[in-house]
Amino acid sequence: MARIEREWQAEHEGSALASELHRIMVISHRQAKGFIDCHCVTVNGEVVTKHGHRLKAADTVKVAFDPEQTYDVMPPKHKLQAGPFETLWEDTHLLFVFKPAGLLTVPTEQAGEPSLAEAITESYRRRGFKRFNLFIVHRLDRFTSGVLVFAKTPEALHGMKKLFELHRLQRVYFAILVGELPENSGTLAGHLIEHAKSLKMSVAIARKGPGGGKRMPAGAKEAVTHYRVIERLPGHTVVEVKLETGRRNQIRVQFADRGYPLLGDQVYGIESPLLDRQALHAELLGFKHPVTEEQVTVSAPMPADMEAALKALRNQARLVRAATGVKGEEGIFQPTESRDHKLKRVARAKRFDTRDEAAPARTPRPRREEGEERPRRTFGSAERPSRPRREDGEARPRPASGAPDRPARPRRNDGDERPRRTFGSAERPSRPRREDGEARPRPASSAPDRPARPRREEGEERPRRTFGSAERPSRPRREDGAVRSRPTAGAPDRPARPRREEGEERPRRTFGSAERPSRPRREDGAVRSRPTAGAPDRPARPRREEGEERPRRTFGSAERPSRPRREDGAVKSRPTAGAPDRPARPRPEGPTARPARKPFPKAGKAKPRKP
């Protein structure tokens, strides 16, 4: 480090000397305390060795450091003396202690500064525990006070780690904010990231990634904080904070990012003459015991320095109210509290010490044995007679919500069908119960004299339902295999279509006039007759035999003579496009004749190839 000589005058009234060096010289708190310990800092010409020395306005502060000069090194303490720590609750597996502000939770790499873990270990060794192991579960900031839990066995350590990973525990903090929050409750949700150089935490901001879209930077972790306003003071707000995730400096960073830093926070906020540290206190810690599975809830009282800060702020509020002439409870903030939250707050207020003797001793609830039914809770007036307990298997009585003289409904036996409920007038006769297998009677919605529908036997086909007038004759039932009769949608005297036998071809349907003669049925193998779309006297085309070539179709006038069929190998005659009386061209003979077309090979067995 280079030679340092700097002198200035203090501007703020009541600021600590170490904080003044940290702010003016832009150095860490550890370096500022090191200058003070080496007698390099003077105030108004006098050497000061106290870190928390309060400065006055216009005090002259001078720092002189010579790197060539050898300063006395503070001797390290070989054996740490057991510090004054308070045990809140303890059993075989867990230890709850009260951590004061300014004490480290665990020792740092540079030995010499006291820590709470070392103090607890030294205290147990002095009490005779030669092999005492203390496991670190979680930590609190150095200048944060409150409840801290340690594990004494590996089983408790693994169970507590799982509870913290799954966030299955209740952590309640008490904080004083600088500024007045506009709402009474809310949630701060975001991501926190740690900076490698300054080791400070900050709220991460999503940035545009290389592939498009916004992404959180690497190393950002989710942080969720729930808060509720407890009291409003001039320029300050007292809140109750519940942590859902436990990130480092989570409460301090998220409130400072929103613009309401903690009172006295010298890292993320500003200094305050009311408090020399951040106004943050771990008030309550509760969870399910990882080994015994019992609910454990431990709370710590408010420290003296925060009580003094609150007292000063409340006195200031009284002065403001007196100056403005406000009397009574006018203007005093009263947070809205639901019934569920009030019950939880009352439950948290129960301490683990002995109960007040003035309070009436409540008889403990007997523990239910395995398989025993949970008793019903009764609510209402004390004069209300207790409800008799129902025996095992006894039906629950139902209140009569209709006629008071209506007899009670008998209980149904196992397997007994539930009777139908009747609604309407009390004079309505009760519906008789149907026996097992008896068909349900259906009410007649048309003719009142219509006989009841007979019940269908098993396997019997369901009859078709008839709709319309009551005078419509009933449709006769079709026997098994009988053809369904189709209604005639044309001539009413048309005979019914005969039923087709199995394998018989379906006849073609005829459309048009009722006087059109019916088409005769074609026999198996018979050629379908085609209607003549020309002369009505043209004879029917004869059927072609198997292998016979299909004749060419003729188009045009009905008087045109039919084209004779060409024999195999005969040349196709071409029509003469000119004079209609021109004779046909004779086929050339001899060597100039056009070779006949080679006939297509007959389908048959393929000939084997020669080797």
pLDDT for 82 equals 39
Residue 104 carries which DSSP code? B
The C-alpha atoms of residue 275 and residue 15 are separated, in whole angstroms, by 10
pLDDT digits (tens, 9 = 90+) for 394-421: 767 665 555 556 666 777 777 777 776 6
Q: Are strands 60-65 and 4-9 parallel, antiparallel or unpaired?
A: antiparallel
- The band of 482, judged by pLDDT with boundaries at 50, 70 and 90, is confident
DSSP per residue, 478-496: PPTTPPPPPPPSS-TTPPP
- CATH superfamily, region 4-65: RNA-binding S4 domain (3.10.290.10)
Helix (H, G, I), strand (E, B) or coil at 222: strand
Domain ranges of the chain: 4-65, 86-208+218-313
Q: Do domains 4-65 and 86-208+218-313 have the same CATH topology?
A: no
pLDDT for 37 equals 85
Q: Is 70 exceeded by the pLDDT of residue 443?
A: no
Calculate the average pLDDT of the chain: 76
Please state which architecture CATH assigns to domain 86-208+218-313. 2-Layer Sandwich (3.30)
- Of the CA atoms within 13 Å of residue 132, those in its CB half-sphere come to 18
pLDDT digits (tens, 9 = 90+) for 341-380: 677 767 766 644 344 444 455 666 777 777 777 777 665 5
| Residue from 45, 56, 47, 41 nearest 6 by CA | 41
Return the active site residues. Answer: 141
Residue 358 carries which DSSP code? T
Starting at the edge strand that comes first in sequence, how are the strands of the sheet with 46-47 ordered?
A: 4-9, 60-65, 41-43, 46-47
Distance between start and end Cα atoms, the chain? 105
Read off the pTM. 0.46
